[in-house]
Amino acid sequence: MHRVGNAGPALQVMDVVVMGESLIDIVTTPDGITEHPGGSPANVAYGLARLGVRTGLLTAIGNDRRGAAIDKHLAGAGVTLLPGSRSLDRTSTAAATIAADGSASYAFDIMCDLKPLEPAYAPPKVLHTGSIASFLAPSAATVQTVLQQIRDECTITYDPNIRPALLGSHADARSTFEELVQLADVVKLSDEDAQWLYPRKTLEDTATHILGLGAELAVITKGSSGSLLATAGARLSIPAVDSRVVDTIGAGDSYMSALILRLLARGTDGFAPSVLEQLGRTAAMASAITVRRAGANPPTRDELLSHL
């Protein structure tokens, strides 16, 4: 990463840069099989763009039919696919089977090879990363290097989005997670992520542990039980919004997109309790809208604001 200077060509600027995998969700339901562009980081980028945020995605897709589908999907929302993102022989996939209660289970065919962020881009206001690309070689090393380079120049948000079947040993995965937490300002994880990483800790204790590693804000989502937002000086429990669930694909990513939207707007108020409540309630509403429809289909800015 490079700082904006007075000499040389103008650097391209994004409000948010997202680093991580893109893939195709192959969804099996009682009604048949469909394919949807997905991957947690790509979903977050898509959700941000739909919320009106100038967003770039550094990812890895193939020069194939599925890669073209992802490219078209992202471009339709206004996401800028950053240079180096078309780098694979084939696009990764996640096969999702939807249960009767709307929950999803996954099987993955993943290749992770993120390229470094090109110097033509100025540091964004927020850099978001997480999920599979933050754990698997060789992308994990790229993610860590970029975070180390940019940590003093923007807000860093991190969502591990744990997929145990892909992560090798528990000890190694937790070590990688904690190394990245030390480079992040905001860490968001689900209750399932928290329980897998720290099976002997309560969710409150896990939030305390994350703050102790250096994060300013720890967010733990709990599905229909709402979410916990914790800082060194405050803890808020935000209720979930009642919804008829079609499926839960992309719900956590939609929550993350809306959380980042509010982070961009918080000004000089930091993480005061009033800011935490606004963050949590906005993110909860975005997630609720998403679960009411099939696939990773987050709200537009107008939809979100009208519900709020």
CATH number for position 144: 3.40.1190.20
Question: What does the alpha-carbon distance between residue 281 and residue 297 come to, in Å, rounded to a whole number?
Answer: 19
> Averaging pLDDT over each range in 1-5, 33-37, 90-94, 227-231, which range is the top one?
227-231
Q: In this predicted structure, what is the pLDDT of residue 34?
A: 86
Q: Tell me: the pLDDT tens digits for 52-68?
A: 999 999 999 999 999 99
Mean pLDDT of all residues in the chain? Answer: 91
Per-residue pLDDT for 250 more than 70?
yes
Name the band, by pLDDT with cuts 50, 70 and 90, for residue 269: confident
Per-residue pLDDT for 11 more than 70?
no
Residue 77 maps to a domain: yes
**Count of structural domains, the chain:** 1
**Backbone dihedral angles phi then psi of residue 172, each to the nearest 5 degrees:** -65, -40
Closest to 81 in 3D by CA, of 51, 49, 110: 49
Name the band, by pLDDT with cuts 50, 70 and 90, for residue 118: confident
Per-residue pLDDT for 217 more than 70?
yes
Per-residue pLDDT for 3 more than 80?
no
Task: Give 27's contacts (C-beta < 8 A, 6+ positions apart).
Answer: 33, 34, 35, 36, 96, 97, 98, 104, 247, 249, 294, 295
Higher pLDDT, 180 or 4: 180
Per-residue pLDDT for 1 more than 50?
no
Q: In this predicted structure, what is the pLDDT of residue 31?
A: 79
The answer to which of 35-39, 97-101, 210-214 has the lowest mean pLDDT is 97-101
Name the band, by pLDDT with cuts 50, 70 and 90, for residue 244: confident
The answer to which of 115-124, 179-188, 193-202, 258-267 has the lowest mean pLDDT is 115-124
Residue 259 maps to a domain: yes
Q: In this predicted structure, what is the pLDDT of residue 177?
A: 98
Residue 253 maps to a domain: yes
DSSP state, residue 12: B
Mean per-residue pLDDT, 205-227: 97
Residue 156 maps to a domain: yes
Length of the chain equals: 308
Per-residue pLDDT for 29 more than 70?
yes
227, with CB counted inside 10 A (0-12, 13-18, 19+), is buried
Structural domain harbouring 130: 16-301
Residue 308 maps to a domain: no
Residue 101 maps to a domain: yes
The residues pairing with 102 across neighbouring beta strands, listed in sequence order, are: none
Residue 5 maps to a domain: no
Percent of the chain with pLDDT strictly greater than 90: 72
DSSP calls for 104-141 = EEEEEE----PPPPPTTB---SEEEEESGGGTSTTHHH
Residue 95 maps to a domain: yes
- Report the predicted TM-score, pTM, of the whole model to 2 decimal places: 0.91
Name the band, by pLDDT with cuts 50, 70 and 90, for residue 4: very low
229, with CB counted inside 10 A (0-12, 13-18, 19+), is buried
Name the band, by pLDDT with cuts 50, 70 and 90, for residue 299: very high
Q: Which two tokens stand for residue 229?
A: 């937002």
Q: Which two tokens stand for residue 131?
A: 């999920």
State the alpha helices, DSSP H only, in the chain.
40-50, 65-77, 139-150, 170-181, 191-197, 203-212, 251-264, 273-291, 301-307
